[in-house]
């Protein structure tokens, strides 16, 4: 799940990604983000295996959090800045 947050007038938007099991409703408390970057972005995220994701990050904004594992799923990050296909 890709979503955006704004934490107030003095804090800019950020884009976050959470892994939500199939059939479950999204809850940021139950499924906290594993990726958080500054700005508003349409990210390219691909499953590259049964338990592996690949995330294409934009080149320009600050990365606040980028976990490499979420439960039993590995996450690889690219920095091509191509965005979604």
Q: Is the pTM of this model over 0.85?
A: no
Number of helical (H) and strand (E) elements in the chain, helices listed first: 0, 8
Mean pLDDT of the chain: 86
Q: What is the pLDDT of residues 13-26, one digit of tens each?
A: 899 999 999 999 99
Q: Give the Cα separation of 57 and 83 in Å (integer).
A: 7
Q: What does the pLDDT read at residue 50?
A: 94
Give the residue from 9, 30, 12, 63 showing the smallest Cα distance to 1: 30
* Residue 59, both tokens: 């080149």
């Amino acid at each position: 799940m890709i979503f955006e947050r704004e934490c107030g007038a003095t804090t800019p938007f950020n884009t976050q990604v959470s892994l939500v099991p199939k059939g479950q409703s999204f809850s940021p408390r139950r499924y906290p983000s594993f990726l958080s970057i500054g700005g508003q972005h349409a990210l390219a995220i691909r499953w590259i295996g049964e338990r592996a994701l690949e995330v294409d990050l934009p080149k320009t904004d600050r990365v606040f959090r980028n976990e490499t594992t979420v439960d039993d799923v590995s996450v690889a990050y690219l920095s091509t800045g191509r965005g979604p296909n």
